[in-house]
Amino acid sequence: MSIQWFPGHMNAARKKAAETMEKTDMIIEVLDARIPQASRNPMIEELRKARQRPCLKILNKADLADPQATQKWLDFYNAQKDVTAVALSCKKPGDVAKVPGLAMKIVPHRGTALKPLRMMIMGIPNVGKSTLMNALLKKRVAKVGDEPAVTKTQQRLYLGNNMVLTDTPGMMWPKIEHPTDGLMLAASHAIGSNALIEEEVATFLAEILLQHYPQLLTARYGFKTDGIDGVSVIEGVAQRRAYRIKGGDYDLEKAAHTFLQDYRSGALGRISLETPESRIALLASYVPPVLLGEPQEPEEE
């Protein structure tokens, strides 16, 4: 299943972001620590590099991610030009309190009453931008919701006398190139539920957990994982939770929803769905689909 999700307001948000970035000193890009590259919008990177703006990449929800994988991602990003990366939870005031100091180190020539440090907070939907804004300003200024794409317009707010924050709507990009990225985004709730089939997303997630975190499945649901596949995991959840439909069959839809919720909330444990190594392997094995109308190489006889 290939998942695509690009609501109409996001195209307008992209154009507005390009205009605002011209008068911005740096970008704060919020990523999901469980899927940093899959949750990275390539359009943000293009806009940032075109304007030559430095970036603070915040790997949010680090308390839900595998700490070993997160450290690998921090090393990966911090090796890049004009990038500083930090892992934290935007729900923890102590973590968020570090952000202004990090920003000042990135742009030390700004940050006065006459020349306030101008920052844009960017990222895909439901990754924690609004939570970060509210925590930085210590009051509810941005609407926070469990469904993606809650914020639809830019907000410009002052953090003391020397910092200006612009909160932007969550932006997806028109085409998710790698199908597994769409599934990881869906599993992590960055894509609206109307664009996906939860049973397929849950089965995909179960396959990753069987490969990398089988002990967490056993600890949560009590069944052994030897020799089973993703579908069997969802069936096991239905059995353990006694989810059945009329007629006695397992309610796989309800089980899939529960399984996804357990992952998203951290009830399953600290999980990362990708690492720099798995990303390199994905890119190396990826073959772009042939589009209709494109000339194809003739087959050898």
> Would you write out the chain's pLDDT as a tens digit for each of its 301 residues?
454 544 555 566 667 777 888 889 999 999 999 999 999 988 888 889 988 999 999 999 999 999 999 999 999 999 999 999 999 999 999 999 999 999 999 999 999 989 999 999 998 888 998 899 889 988 877 655 444 444 456 678 888 889 999 888 777 666 777 889 989 999 999 876 665 689 999 999 999 999 999 999 999 999 999 999 999 999 999 999 999 999 899 999 999 999 999 999 999 999 999 999 999 998 888 666 554 455 455 444 4
**Whether 231 contacts 248, CB under 8 Å:** no
pLDDT of residue 148: 43
pLDDT of residue 160: 84
Question: What pairs with residue 259 in β-bridges?
Answer: none
Residue 165: which H helix or E strand, with range? strand 163-167
pLDDT of residue 301: 40
pLDDT of residue 197: 86
Nearest to 159 by CA among 113, 94, 105, 92: 113
**Whether 132 contacts 121, CB under 8 Å:** yes
Domains of the chain: 8-167 (3.40.50.300), 197-285 (1.10.1580.10)
Q: Which residue has the tokens 């490969």?
A: 211
146 Cβ contact list (under 8 Å, min separation 6):
126, 189
166 Cβ contact list (under 8 Å, min separation 6):
20, 24, 118, 119, 120, 121, 154, 155, 156, 157
pLDDT of residue 61: 96
The pTM assigned to this predicted structure is 0.85
Residue 260 tokens, joined: 């996804």
pLDDT of residue 146: 46
Question: What pairs with residue 71 in β-bridges?
Answer: none
Reduced to 3 states, what is the DSSP secondary structure of residue 67? helix
pLDDT of residue 299: 46
pLDDT of residue 231: 96
